[in-house]
Chains A and B, each alone.
Chain A
Amino acid sequence: MMTFDEPAAERLLSVEDLSVEFSSSSGRVHAVNRITFELAPHETLGIVGESGCGKSVTSLAIMGLLPKPAGRIAGGQVIFDGTNLLTLKPDEMRDLRGRDLAMVFQDPMTSLNPVITIEEQLVEVIRAHDSKVTKAAAHQRALDLLELVGIPNPKERLRGYAHQLSGGMRQRVMIAIALALNPKLIIADEPTTALDVTIQAQILELIQRVANESGAAVMLITHDLGVVAGMTQRIQVMYAGRIVETATTRELFAHPRHPYTVGLLRSIPRLDLGDDRALIPIDGLPPDMTRERAGCPFAPRCAWATERCLVEDPELVSVTAGQRTVSSGPGATHRVACWNPATDDEAAQGVPASGHVSAITAATDARVAAAAAILADLP
């Protein structure tokens, strides 16, 4: 297990060696594999990765919302504000959820109840955690919340239903519900993926503003590197249920080290660079998570792969050898899980320096050569 060198007082959330598995008809899916990370109070952390990389499952595991019985925590612990969430009883967890931990989901239509009013949904959250709050006080709080998240005509909207609102307005209601009890941590799972880009801008600004005002820490989960670039202080890149790279936002974009991070940055067109820059796709497909395989999970798609990558799984370690590891906050250490990380030059080019032959290509070439030799020997 990984340990960190700084005092525990600075941590709001600490996830240690967390593994999550799903049982499915095609076998056991290793959705999250022994991930360890921390979050300081008031910090904004971005978790970036593609579908199936385990970013959403991580957040569901923290919230205690893994689908039962398919999902199972296979190991590790989640310490939030001094409490191990994984050992809490369901009703204790339910009390914490909403009060200290809040979540904003991707699709505001399916996460709001279509048959009760917006007011009932807000009041329900407020009163469920504190039965002493009067109905009138809860109503007033609901009104304040809608105003806070910038919903016009909040009085009328309270009496309305989710279907009467646009996607952006629904997401504002979701954020209002998340904020209802002044949580210490807001987990936003792809909060703007279903929205148009100008509405996305509104919602991101709103999340930033409410986090600043309330002092809540934010975990922003997204596939969009652009969204995290302007929103977060620190980023974790996930692939195949692991954290493959983590650094402060500026450091990560200025000096990406993991070939997957480099690939993500080079495979999306950038508005400010236009077509002057060719796109370099990441070859192949995301891994089959039902199989446990030796070596680095990204190796089969990696142009930087070496022989070692195929057999030995790299740990997440500091990019500068022997450096003291700081796991959260503005001075967090840049760490990467890679045997052959990209240099700045290579990252800028998007390909390994000339002369490097990917172990994958080499292995394929060797097989082709062997087959050719056999064919040549045939009469």
Chain B
Amino acid sequence: MSLALGGVARPDSATAGTPADDRILLSVSDLRMYFPVTQGLIFERHIGDVHAVDDVSFDLPRGQTLGLVGESGCGKSTTGRTILRLYKPTAGRIVFDGVDITRLGGEALRRTRRRIQMIFQDPYASLNPRMTVGGIVGEPLTVHGIGTKAERRERVAELLDVVGLNPNFLNRYPHEFSGGQRQRIGVARALAVNPELIVADEPISALDVSIQAQILNLLERLQGEFSLTFLFIAHDLSVVRHVSDRIAVMYLGRIVELAPSGDLYAHPLHPYSVALLSAVPIPDPVVESRRRRIILKGDVPSPVNPPSGCRFHTRCWLRERLGNPERCTTEDPRLRTLAAGHEVACHFAEEVDGSIEQRQAIGVPIPIAAGGIASAGAATPAAAALAGQAPAVPPAAPQA
């Protein structure tokens, strides 16, 4: 059957000598998405723009996962939706598999959408309560006119099986399923038309802790089975690190750091990334006692009037330490490459590497300059104590 899962031919990404362009499935350059702010009831005057996505560029190679991480309002979801062309980008270029889809419309856009699918955050809101599971999962097939009715039915049953649902549930309604099962239905729907790129927007944040791992493992398995490319959008850095090959950290509509996921954790180079990392709690009290959070002052500024220069300068801990250099407020830092595949948008990123803040954020024992405790074994508690954060004293009280 032509509908067989994984039927889309994929170029062999391992082949040496393939032109670089061929391995890049999605290339986004200078993408901007502004939403107008208007005032007035009858005559709507345009008084400004929400700079939701402002000058975002990245490449996503086939078969890889790029994680987009940031806090609410940083533009990560808008970036995902703009790539799907759910919005009309204000400026920039989106190139999908060598074709510029930025201004595509009508039938051409519809054909492209078959190759890019989305998994939504809320499995309660993203499934039509009046449609059966069979109808929901089969709808993309109907829309794109794929297969006969019988073939579609067979394909839907196959999809349900692939995502770990009983194919006999075809005629049930979404309310009969739990959150995790509903998310599986959403995944099956996204897979239905054999897409190459899947944009997953916070696919697990609405689920219970014990269910999250089920969905993460499912996505990981499907990526391997169907050589899918993922744009994985989430606020949880631990989850993003787990699934992604590369991570882009966003702040106020910009990518401030882009790095291989291991690198981003071991050597965060943007002051915001360091603060973000430091704020993620690690479920291990021993590691936690070695870490210190960087408490950012205040809230994220309004994206209608983003700060001048570097957008993070109003809350930056590094700028304060460097004596508030002029450059941060006047010159907008561009992404620059500091290590292989590691880009960062900060004028003073070199100051971040090796800083106490960076090491405390990730919980690495601080190297001891004075005192001469050189033995690696003794370094951990002593270093933590020297850094002024003596680990919580373990309960010493006798228990017998």
Contacts and interface: CB of A to CB of B under 8 A. Distances in A.
Contact of B395 (A224, A250, A269, A282): A250
A229 B280 CA distance: 12
Nearest to B69: A197
Most interface-central of B210, B237, B291 (chain A CB within 10 A): B210
Interface string B386-400: 000000101111111
Interface in A168-227: 168-169, 196-202, 204-205, 223-227
Contact of A324 (B71, B214, B400): B400
Contact of A267 (B209, B236, B280, B398): B209
Interface string A246-287: 001111011000000001111111111011001111110110
A166 B280 contact: no
Interface string B194-218: 0000000000000011111110110
Contact of B283 (A265, A280, A323): A265
Interface residues of A, number: 57
Given A50-B208, A166-B299, A271 B213 contact: no
Interface string B150-185: 000000000000000000000000000010100000
Interface stretch (A65-73, A104-112, A326-334): A326-334
Contacts of A331: 395, 397-399
Contact of B282 (A51, A200, A229, A254): A229
Contacts of A279: 213, 216-217, 242
A269 B209 contact: no
B362 interface: yes
Contact of A271 (B211, B237, B296, B398): B237
B275 A250 contact: no
B283 A223 contact: no
A7 interface: no
A230 interface: yes
B36 interface: no
B278 interface: yes
A289 to B, nearest CB: 14
A379 interface: no
B286 A274 contact: no
Contact of A285 (B178, B217, B242, B362): B178
B275 A198 contact: yes
A278 B289 CA distance: 25
Given A226-B282, A285-B178, A196 B235 contact: yes
Nearest to B277: A271
A93 B235 CA distance: 40
Nearest to A235: B285
B127 to A, nearest CB: 18
Interface string B274-317: 01111111111111110101111011000000000000000000
Contacts of A283: 214
Contacts of A269: 216, 238-239, 241-243
Contact of A275 (B71, B212, B241, B395): B241
A263 to B, nearest CB: 6
Contacts of A266: 213
A275 B217 CA distance: 11
A223 B265 contact: no
A280 B213 contact: yes
Nearest to A49: B209
A74 B56 CA distance: 58
B72 interface: yes
Contacts of A199: 71, 299
Given A253-B284, A331-B398, A197 B235 contact: yes
A355 interface: no
A152 interface: yes
A95 to B, nearest CB: 36
A301 B236 CA distance: 26
Q: Which 4 residue pairs spanning A and B have beta carbons closest together?
A: A226-B281, A331-B397, A269-B242, A281-B213
Given A196-B71, A323-B400, 5 more contacts: A169-B299, A197-B236, A281-B214, A324-B399, A332-B395
11 contacts: A197-B279, A197-B280, A202-B295, A227-B281, A248-B394, A267-B212, A268-B283, A281-B211, A283-B214, A324-B399, A326-B399
